[in-house]
Structure 1
Amino acid sequence: MSAVAIGRLQGAFLVVNGLWPLVHMPSFEAVFGPKTDKWLVRTVGGLLLTNGLAQLRAGSSPEGAGHARQLGIGTAATLAAADLIYVGNGTLSKMYLLDAAAEFLWMSLWYRHRRAKVR
């Protein structure tokens, strides 16, 4: 899979996940548990939306693909770390482990792409 394809897929994933709490907080809370700081959930949603749109708009040049890769890996690593830390200490619902798994999938795709390119 090309870097452009990975970037666009991850970008779409982030847009959907970022929009969800912004558009319908009740369904988001039904899956991930009630939230006391809804402003924080909405802020993170806005940041995910922004990152996703940036990945979707990254060009197909090597520079654009590199930008999508850096943004994708950074976003996935940050979300996976937060998921694991805050599920581990009981702050977040265990449902966030599904998100952590998805984030590890994105990092794996980027790693495999980079590794295949080097060979």
Structure 2
Amino acid sequence: MQRLKLTFWYNIDRCRGGADSIGLPHIGRDSKCINKSRIPLDEETCELGVGGSIEAVEIAVAEVEAKISSLGGVSQPRILLAGTDDGRILQVSRRRYRKKTTPRFFSLRTPEDLRKVSFVKFIFIC
């Protein structure tokens, strides 16, 4: 593994010095390297425009017989709470569904590295 890491950084340094080409024709990035050796580079940087975070979006659908009046959540542990109009609480966590004085309405399994929850508004036309 250390040899792979050293070879990778050797190639990155050559390209940063302008001595090579990017060499990624399979993703449309094969072009001559530009000298950027004056810009500091650490292991968290990728000058080639690949890598970084990839946003994943999945809309989870839940049918609830009560009106949801409030939503909240915490990140550690990952728990999403929904309060209903009649005082019940729906709780969704990464591992399993947990209930508080309510029958099971829905369950949602989230990935290990969930970072953001977005709520989507829908308009129902009858």
- Bigger share in strand: 2
Q: Return the TM-score normalized by structure 2.
A: 0.19
Q: Point out which structure has higher relative CO (alpha carbons under 8 A, 6+ apart).
A: 1
Please say which structure displays the higher CA radius of gyration: 2
Bigger share in helix: 1
Q: TM-score, normalised by structure 1?
A: 0.20
